[in-house]
Chain A
Amino acid sequence: MTIIMIILAVIGGATLSIQAAINGQLGSKVGVFRCAFLTFSVGALITGLLIFYFEPRHALTLLDVPKWQLLGAMCGVPYIVIMVFAVQRIGTAVATVAVIFGQLFMSMLIDNFGWLGNDVIAFSPSRIGAVICLGIALYFIHASGKDTAKTES
């Protein structure tokens, strides 16, 4: 089960990078915000259609859950805006590493304390090892991003 879920998440990441490549093309033509708006509105349309035809009934609806559970997009959209402003000033390489660092740091915290209604997954020695490996990976991502910035400029 775990393996299937990991593979699924890897596929999700691959999808995300295809999306980033496509949106990069579009964003350079029509602007980042128009591009983001298109992505979100088409996404909403498609999920709307899927719900209409495939979603079974649930005891709870979006209007019944506590309002803080609906804040997901409020945490995701600032990321787009931040990247637009930050990438020009600190460069893609540093920005990428900073984003991933923030993601990992926060995800370890959420897992460890079981925040936001998630299951607790305690910090362990092998998790520390994983963090060290990721630190090394981040160094390589940073180094490769620097090269990219050079060839592009």
Chain B
Amino acid sequence: MQFILILIVVMGGMGLSVEAGLLGPLGGEVGELWATFSVFGVGAALTFMLMLFFSPRNSPSFFKQPSWTLLGGVLGPVYVVILTFTAPVIGIAMTMISILMGQIAKSLLIDHYGLFGSQHRQIDRKRLMALFFIVIALILMAQG
């Protein structure tokens, strides 16, 4: 059971790479913004239906939340547009590794300073090591 679940999660990750692989060439044909729009448009339609059928009832309104917690959607397009730009130039694998590096570095900062309402945590040596090896991987990839 564990194993099947892990396999499904691996497939979820593969889906993310396929998404990046589709976006690059699409952006080249119809424009980066249109390609991004296709992802968010279809994504909004799909998640609307998920929300409609599977969301717990009586969950609090968006308008009762502090407005800065609603900013996730503003940052999403930045990421997708960048993905569409970079993937055709440096390839899917290097794009993914660079993104991973950005994520790890930023998550270290977020935890360390307790930004965005997350818990304040000591700088994590293990994630620092992870970051170090990702940088080496990037250098190796860049050399071809």
- In chain A, positions 11-64 with a C-beta closer than 8 Å to chain B are 11-26, 29-31, 33-48, 50-51, 54-56, 58, 60-62, 64
Which chain A residue shows the least CB distance to B53?
A: A33
Residues of B contacting A: mostly = helix
**A153 at the A/B interface (Cβ < 8 Å)?**
no
Q: Which residues of A contact B127 (CB under 8 A)?
A: 140-141, 144
CA distance A124 to B144 in the complex (A): 7
> Which one of A26, A33, A45, A129 has the greatest number of beta carbons of chain B within 10 Å?
A33
Q: Which residues of B contact A41 (CB under 8 A)?
A: 40, 44, 47-48, 73
Q: Is the CB of B105 within 8 A of A10?
A: yes
Q: Which residues of A contact B62 (CB under 8 A)?
A: 30, 34, 38
Q: Is the CB of A9 within 8 A of B82?
A: yes
Which chain A residue shows the least CB distance to B131?
A: A137
Which chain A residue shows the least CB distance to B102?
A: A13
Which chain A residue shows the least CB distance to B95?
A: A9
Complex partner residue of A107 from B5, B96, B129, CB under 8 angstroms:
B96
Which chain B residue shows the least CB distance to A75?
A: B15
Question: Known contacts being A110-B17, A111-B92, is A44 close to B126, with CB within 8 Å?
Answer: no
Distance of B143 from chain A, by nearest CB (Å)? 5
Q: Which residues of A contact B59 (CB under 8 A)?
A: 29-31, 34
Residues of A contacting B: mostly = helix
Q: Is the CB of B9 within 8 A of A90?
A: yes
Q: Is the CB of A69 within 8 A of B22?
A: yes
Q: Mark B101-138, 1 if CB is under 8 A from A, else 0.
A: 11111110010000111100100101101111110111
Q: Is the CB of A22 within 8 A of B116?
A: yes
CA distance A103 to B17 in the complex (A): 5
CA distance A19 to B44 in the complex (A): 17
Complex partner residue of A83 from B12, B20, B54, B74, CB under 8 angstroms:
B12
CA distance A48 to B47 in the complex (A): 18
Given pairs A126-B143, A127-B141, 8 additional interface contacts (CB within 8 A): A5-B95, A8-B82, A10-B99, A17-B103, A99-B13, A110-B18, A133-B140, A147-B126
